[in-house]
Structure 1
Amino acid sequence: MKKILLSCLVAFALLGTGCHKDEQYEAQKYGILNTEVKGLGFVKSIFSEALLADATPQKILSVEVGVSSNELPKTAINYTVVASPTLIPAGTTLLPASAYTFKSTNTVPAGAVHSVFEIVLTNASLLNSNLTYGVAFTLTSADNGYTVAQNSRVVSISINIKNKYDGVYSNMGTFRDFVNAAFTGNYPLTYRLVTTGPSSVDVQLLVNGTYAPAYLFLNNGGGTFFGSYGLTMTFNPAAGDIISDLHNYYGDPSKPATAIGDPSLGTGAPNFASANTRRAVLDPTGINKYDNATKVIKIKHFIIQSNQSTGPNPRSALNETWTYTGPRP
């Protein structure tokens, strides 16, 4: 009975105090204030860029700085940025400071939600196409009442250098195998030319879900490919973009292994024969060059396989036209 009485008294006491108004609270002299913190930060924190190995300056325009506020800024917001070499993406090589420029002080215009933070690669032809470069930047300050958001103050960028031959190509042509008449062409094919140097590429196809240097054809109408065979090639821009070197990827011990074969078992220069003796040799009767105006490659080549117990060598002849369709992912 005492417990019930005490509970009732407490309840009435609470009800009683709830009826009194606090004039200072209602005047907002203290209490919960809805004060907005206006933030500024990079819209996205991680980027990957692919640029041409070109001496002409190239702009990276994908990085943006944005505002977080209940309303658009009525006046411009100035912000400062510094390079942060210790924050580059893991596994990348630091992009030399001499290879790029950026403005340390930038502006988000009045009335804008975001603006581009521009980075300029000054001369990508001086960079190593075999490396993935990294660069990073940190927002350090902002004016006009904006605060740099700590969780979006850093942006890091991976940069790959592509030569002009790099890209996706549609391949039409003819394939003839002199050893097995059941082997026929499987056109059209889609090739990916992947930069390996200023004027060299690996020629990749999609085989069983993975891109790798290979050659796809038909065996009695069913899809198949040659084991330990695929192309790697070099062009000579000074000689009209002719193909100056062509050899079997899987005969080059400097190349990494793929599901198609292991180049470490190859002979290396000058023949670049794979473990199963397959080689790639240009047919000198072909045009064998890249057309800079149309981005079309015309190429004729032979597959040589010296361990053939029967049949002629070369074992196969290919005459193809590769037409550029766009950049590779």
Structure 2
Amino acid sequence: MKNIMYALLLTVTGLGACTKMDHEYAPYLSNGEIFYTGVPTNLVAHPGRGRVGLQFTQSKDPNIARYVIYWNNRSSKLEVPASDSVLQQVIVPNLTEGEYAFEIVAYDKAGNPSTPGSAVITGTSLGQAYENNLQTRRVNISNSQAGIILGFSSMDTTCKYTTAAYTTASGTTGSAKYTNAGAFEDTLKDASKQLASVVLKTAYVPLSGIDTFYAQQTMPVNLAAAKYTCTGQMVDYTNASLTGPYPWNVTLRPATATQLELVDNDQTNEVYHKILSGGSNSYYGSFGVVFNLDNNYNVISVINKYGQPSSNGRSAELDPSGINKFDPATRTLKVKYWMNQPGATHRTSFDETFSMK
């Protein structure tokens, strides 16, 4: 009898507990049991021009009929049907430039969705602001007897190619395309001897991107910028044992669009004027030559790179009796100038001819 009463007590207690549990969860079950379909996985976003490419692995749930992509807090959406392939690839078009959070929801044939918030990825739509920040590939432009030399710096893998447009000797438009990512040089052998500029256009594809973006720049060409053999005469009026180093290997290196620095290639590899002291290699301290040219390649002034005057009082000055001009046809620069020094005024005179290599 005691065991029967104990069993009845457990039964009543259990019934009471179930009734209480059903009462607590009733609001959540008022519309019946909720079913969630399979969730899309392996989400990837690809940036594009005014669009974003999305890729995901479809759920193996055979009942899935479609996928809906939501963004802008679900105020915008794009619907695509389920496909037979494992990967689904979708382009979300007409996006203003910016970053977006995309939620991908799978729906089965009965309209049941996948778990809310279970498949979310961020993607970026690119546009004019992004493109405006791109720069053309860095290039040093110099001249030579063989033609215009383009010296390209190395680039990362987002740079796909660079084109160079220029005027040829016959007056037509020439073009060259470069895909090499490493640093290299190329010579435009058919370029005009009067070439004024080169138009560079560099193509970029962002990491994992689906579109190409461009940077374009017109680069002025200083035809006098090149490697030269310098010959001529030098007279130091204060010390006869100091003589000219000719023939002397030099580079006229652009400092600005109309300014060239005279670089010593034989000894210092810097902007110093090499000399011979008693027949031995030497150079003038705190004295480096900079030529200022006008748009017609006339040398209009000569200054000392290290100051006018420098710390030791040395300065440079153009001698107006010289030809003082670069000739693009012969690729030759002729110039006369002085090194001035307190107490000696024109201490040293230079009458030099630079013949392009």
Higher RCO (C-alpha 8 Å, min separation 6): 1
Structure with higher Rg: it is 2
TM band (smaller chain): 0.3 to 0.5
